Homo-oligomer: A and B are copies of this chain.
Amino acid sequence: MTFDTAALAPMADAIRALSMDAVEAANSGHPGMPMGMADVATVLWSEYLKHDPEAPDWADRDRFVLSAGHGSMLIYSLLHLSGYDHPTMEDIRNFRKLGGPCAGHPENFLLDGVECTTGPLGQGLAMAVGMAIAERHLNTAFGSDLVDHRTWVIAGDGCLMEGINHEAIGLAGHLKLDRMTVLWDDNRITIDGSTDLSTSEDIKARYKATGWHVTECDGHDFASIRKALDEAVASDRPSLIACRTVIGKGAPNKQGTSATHGAPLGEDEIAAARKQLGWDAKPFEVPAEILANWRTTGERGAKVRAEWTERLSASSERAEFERRMAGDLPAGFDLDSYIQSLMKEPQKVATRKASEMALAQINAKLPETIGGSADLTGSNNTKAGGIGPLTAEDYSGRYIYYGIREFGMAAAMNGMALHGGVIPYGGTFLVFTDYCRGAIRLAALQQTRAIFVMTHDSIGLGEDGPTHQPIEHVQSLRMIPNLLVMRPADAVETAECWEIALREKNRPTVLALTRQNLPQVRIAPENTDLSARGAYRLKKAGNKRRAILIATGSEVHLALECAEALEKQGVGADVISMVCTQLFDEQDDAYKADLLPDVQPDEILRVSIEAGTTFGWDRYTMTNGLRIGIDRFGASAPAGDLFEKFGFTADAIVPQIMNKLNA
């Protein structure tokens, strides 16, 4: 049913009242946006959004993304009013309090109905692009009977000024994601004051230039809002609706100013707003009739979902659809026979190439992977297994030419993973994790299965020089909570890492891969799944153990060389391949103590070897261990020259070890 203006206005005012009151009670928060966008959101949720509060995880629901995440009280209000189990009114009373689900910014892991974690501006919109891609792709795979929904975004001026906005809308426009609509809260106010302070841009013209349909509405006129939404729905391109609004609408003395943006309105202004809105209810109370109207808005969705459920039950693809949406891998999926074939015929390849070889297997076995690269396809080796391009003309493709848009790519990958039904992976150079670090962090926080294929992982990339050579990157990524950083040493470890990454439903993975060829160090066919423990003993000391060499990736074969030289001098040396420090840290004490026994360096010296910063390696070498690394920027030269210059040769390392041992 559709409500008339007399009914809609108080429904919108309920959002305003809850937002004012919750921010006031928390004594912190952002009332301006929820109050300004209350009318638009009310029309969208009550008349357009396809959702069922009884089934927040319904696969064919529309996705609603509050990209302007600071306005979190908008979505908390909408979820509560339309009848989701949470947040309860008690939850809303505890807005921004410890342990409650109504955090300062919306967190997908705290509340159903929050599709993604937002707050870092621009990323919500960019994740929505990924959701819209996943929808179109799954639509081609499973048909409109099962997959046919829209992605709605509320974004503010901040989201539109951030650089990622340019990358995201460029991708969406190019892919003609017509099921995506951005509702821009055009209130002409930012934190610092009027938008005139910092921008002169014609946003609508910019979106048009990028292939978007653009329309506008009076964000406080229900008919105007409906007209714009109808137009967006009808468009064959993604749509921007410029919603002309008044920030803090309803607060008579402060509305239209940045004073309403990020601070409580204060008791007096709230009283004045209640008067102006004619809102008589007490704080955290919604009059029964208004709440009842809100609750009926979900009925539309319940009916549509019931029909959809019938179609699903009747579908021959039901099992496969449910498997994919649950994020389960196909029964029996593994890479064992491929890994055994490597054991039989060892390969000397770059790990980026080894990744391509693994992907050829994976992409053939898993229809849910969607690969891509930020314009480095041939360098990242990400196009494998015969997958074809996903384009505006053919959404069934499984490879995305993301363009030179690292941040946009990583955020889109998060959106795809959050949408479900697909497993995204995408590549760029490891050094450019700096360009998309915000999205990698958000992948970790949101617990998404996004796989970042980061090649050219050290000075081993050679001539491109210091701007392209990671130094601090691997270690600095290892610090991000809930992120797996893997640096495989050869083709076998690379395949193992891929399999681990694919099985991690709630953790993103960064694969750090080489440009240069590496010998295969894992050749014993009985040794499988070793990477899963994060670190393992690749070589056991022959002579009495005096040293443990801990290396990663391209330095593992160098550690083996060093060990060989040490053994010749009578010094026993273990070699440990530390593929993933995070997984190693999760092992039990016995396993850890077996690999790294707690004895002093004069007994057994621990040595780390990694072509990157030594910062942080003390954790594994102990303070008096030896750390071989690079604590300055790199240089431009052929890789071999650089490894020599920076001391990554057995000739340079072994004497340092002997020295320490004899000291």
Contact = CB atoms under 8 A, between A and B. Distances in A.
Interface of A: 26, 28-29, 69-70, 96-100, 103-105, 107, 117-121, 157-158, 161-167, 170-171, 173-174, 190-193, 197-203, 205-206, 208-211, 373, 375-379, 389, 401-408, 431-432, 434-435, 437-438, 441-442, 444-445, 462-468, 471-472, 475-476, 478-482, 613, 615-616, 618-619, 622-623, 631-633, 635-638, 641-642, 645
Given A167-B161, A209-B202, A463-B28, A615 B616 contact: yes
B623 A622 contact: yes
B467 A408 contact: no
A305 to B, nearest CB: 31
A446 to B, nearest CB: 10
Contacts of A170: 161, 199, 201
A467 B468 CA distance: 28
Contact of A442 (B157, B198, B441, B467): B467
Given A98-B641, A201-B209, 12 more contacts: A96-B465, A97-B637, A98-B638, A103-B636, A119-B464, A120-B432, A161-B375, A161-B403, A162-B167, A190-B375, A203-B209, A475-B476
Contact of A190 (B103, B105, B404, B632): B404
24 contacts: A28-B463, A70-B464, A98-B638, A105-B468, A107-B466, A118-B467, A120-B434, A157-B404, A163-B165, A163-B408, A165-B166, A166-B166, A174-B199, A174-B200, A192-B401, A197-B403, A200-B210, A202-B209, A435-B438, A445-B633, A471-B480, A481-B632, A618-B619, A622-B623
A543 to B, nearest CB: 26
B197 A389 contact: yes
Given A208-B205, A481-B632, A633-B482, A434 B445 contact: no
Contacts of A375: 158, 161, 190-192, 198
A324 to B, nearest CB: 27
A372 to B, nearest CB: 10
Nearest to A30: B464
Given A170-B201, A199-B170, A375-B198, A464 B206 contact: no
Contact of A105 (B405, B464, B479, B622): B464
B636 A105 contact: yes
B191 A376 contact: yes
A407 B642 CA distance: 31
Contacts of A191: 375-379
Nearest to A636: B103
Contacts of A442: 467
Nearest to A157: B404
Contacts of A435: 120, 162, 438
Contact of A479 (B208, B376, B476, B636): B476
Contacts of A119: 464-465, 467-468
Contacts of A472: 476, 479-481
Contact of A161 (B404, B466, B475): B404
Given A191-B377, A403-B190, A476-B479, A104 B463 contact: yes
A615 B475 CA distance: 9
A29 B463 contact: yes
A618 to B, nearest CB: 4
Contact of A438 (B104, B120, B208, B434): B434
A642 B28 CA distance: 15
B631 A465 contact: no
Nearest to A204: B209
A466 B69 CA distance: 12
A24 B629 CA distance: 32
A105 B461 CA distance: 13
A507 B268 CA distance: 50
Contacts of A197: 389, 401, 403
A208 B205 CA distance: 9
Nearest to A210: B201
**Nearest 8 CB-CB pairs, A to B?**
A163-B163, A198-B403, A166-B166, A103-B636, A98-B637, A205-B209, A119-B467, A472-B479
A69 B466 CA distance: 12
